[in-house]
Amino acid sequence: MAQFLVLAFPFELKLKTTRPLTSNPTRSLKATVLDAGLAIVATDSVHFDSNLPHYGTHGGVLRDPTERGRIVSPPLMWAEALDLLLSRLRSRADLRRVAAVSGSAQQHGSVYWAKGAATAALDPARGLAPQLAGAFAAPESPVWMDSSTAAQCREVEAAMGGPLRLAALTGPEVYDATERVSLVSSFMASLLVGGYACIDETDGAGMNIMDINTRQLREDALQATAPNLEGRIGKLAPAHAVAGKVAPYFVQRFQFASSCLVIQWSGDNPNSFAGLTLSNPGDLAISLGTSDTVFGITDSPEPTLEGNIFPNPVDPKTYMVLLCYKNGSLTREDHRDRYAERSWDTFNRLLEETAPLNGGKLGFYYKEHEILPPLPDSASLGAALRAAHGWLCNQEDKFVPFSYVYSGRLDTSALSMQLAVPFGDCDEDTELLNKYTLLVKKRLEIEQKLIERFSYLSNILGTALNGVVHPPRNAYAMHVMLVNGILLNIVRLLQGWP
């Protein structure tokens, strides 16, 4: 029976009985093996800080004390984590039975390959990290939390009507030495196939240089960003496409079958979207993870400044709508540690002791500069499902609807889910919604005043809101503040506000 391996970077991916999935979130790299019935065969993870302490990361990243907003990770750490993870997984699963591998990686991170970097002739007797030590034009990769290039991003936006030379702003020496630019997702896929893997269309849309209608790179956006960029990025590929077969390095070192397919990796949000199995325009889901996100499906994309639109990773006819908030679980954990004795039990107790909406005392916390997961690790599950989906499309030699992968298994597999807290069954629910709507209107008034004061509007509503409105006195208030930004946009949709 075939299996799938999923690697999640930093999320966990899952594959069928002969297909492995991997995931690499910001703080860890996880792997899950699924059988053909979507049951978990084996799982393991590598925590960057504790398992690879020699890289000196905190939360999987390095924060530059000399440059505000610069947050990076070493790609060598990710490569070493892959080696370590597969060596652990090998004792728990027969990797020879894995039919396909795919993965999930943090979005918006980039890796800069040096000219002449070679991954095809790696020695299976040695680890990846020492052999890739000279493979990068930049030894550190900016990750999704990095905001150090805000000025350059504004320059690119301004240049979309004319030429702009950004090389002088972004470091011409590094760029000139760069042969290929990978996203974190295509970087991990490149390691697995032993050559440059394409960036998939869904993750690639996040670069803001792709036409979401044609799914091709836009020449004007490329020219506005950097010279000769198209050759460094390469072609884009559908998320269900085959990136290649597992490289000899992994066949010999970890006993993968030489026929094992590597399905295009994608970003963590597209994989969470796939893992939540949304299927129809109008479907909506909330994922509370490292970053908090709202997902939806549309067949008529209308881009706005308040969110993102990507090609649907599992349906080429529709699009994925995304609202993303950087201040998610890390910010919640920070306030838990400050006010709830570092204990979720204490947090929950305080929450239960507090009346809904905390008597109208609400605030909005931003530990990180804002850019506005899931069922347990929906990104990993989504990567696993996409691995199976890519394998099925390859077997049939045509695109197969994504629902074929999980049809008939929603109640008997890892996809099983139900609504934890029903809403709308009593008058109190309606009263609560009405009260919250009034609070949202007040929040919008405060936010508009701040926008006018600071003279800029960020990508996500509330980014400029650095202070606290009515400081909270308990855990419930903290919780409401942190999820309020997500609920705001949902209420706006329900109210039909612009």
- Helix residue spans in 179-328 (DSSP H): 184-193, 201-205, 219-225, 229-233, 248-254, 268-275
pLDDT at 406: 65
Q: Which two tokens stand for residue 494?
A: 């329900």
pLDDT at 1: 64
Q: Quick one: average pLDDT of 450-454?
A: 53
In the three-class reduction of DSSP (H, G, I as helix; E, B as strand; rest coil), residue 490 is classed as: helix
Per the model's pLDDT, the better-predicted residue between 310 and 151 turns out to be 310
Continuous segment of H or E residues that includes residue 182: strand 178-183
pLDDT at 457 over 50: no
Continuous segment of H or E residues that includes residue 352: helix 344-352
pLDDT band at 197 (very low <50, low <70, confident <90, very high): very high
Contacts of 137 (CB under 8 A, 6+ apart): 112, 113, 114, 115, 174, 175, 177, 178, 179
- pTM (predicted TM-score): 0.69
Is the backbone peptide bond immediately before 163 cis, with ω within 30 degrees of 0? no
Instruction: Say if residues 114 and 177 touch (Cβ distance below 8 Å).
Output: yes
Per the model's pLDDT, the better-predicted residue between 472 and 443 turns out to be 443
pLDDT digits (tens, 9 = 90+) for 212-236: 889 999 998 888 888 899 999 999 9
Contacts of 172 (CB under 8 A, 6+ apart): none
pLDDT at 136 over 60: yes
The domains located in the chain, with CATH, are 3-268 (3.30.420.40), 279-325 (no CATH), 329-367+421-495 (no CATH)
pLDDT digits (tens, 9 = 90+) for 391-403: 888 888 888 887 7
pLDDT at 328: 82
pLDDT digits (tens, 9 = 90+) for 7-54: 765 433 223 333 444 544 458 899 988 888 878 888 899 999 999 999
Contacts of 397 (CB under 8 A, 6+ apart): none
Per the model's pLDDT, the better-predicted residue between 306 and 79 turns out to be 79
| Planar angle of CA 380, 93, 97, nearest 5 degrees | 90
In the three-class reduction of DSSP (H, G, I as helix; E, B as strand; rest coil), residue 114 is classed as: strand
Instruction: Say if residues 199 and 233 touch (Cβ distance below 8 Å).
Output: yes
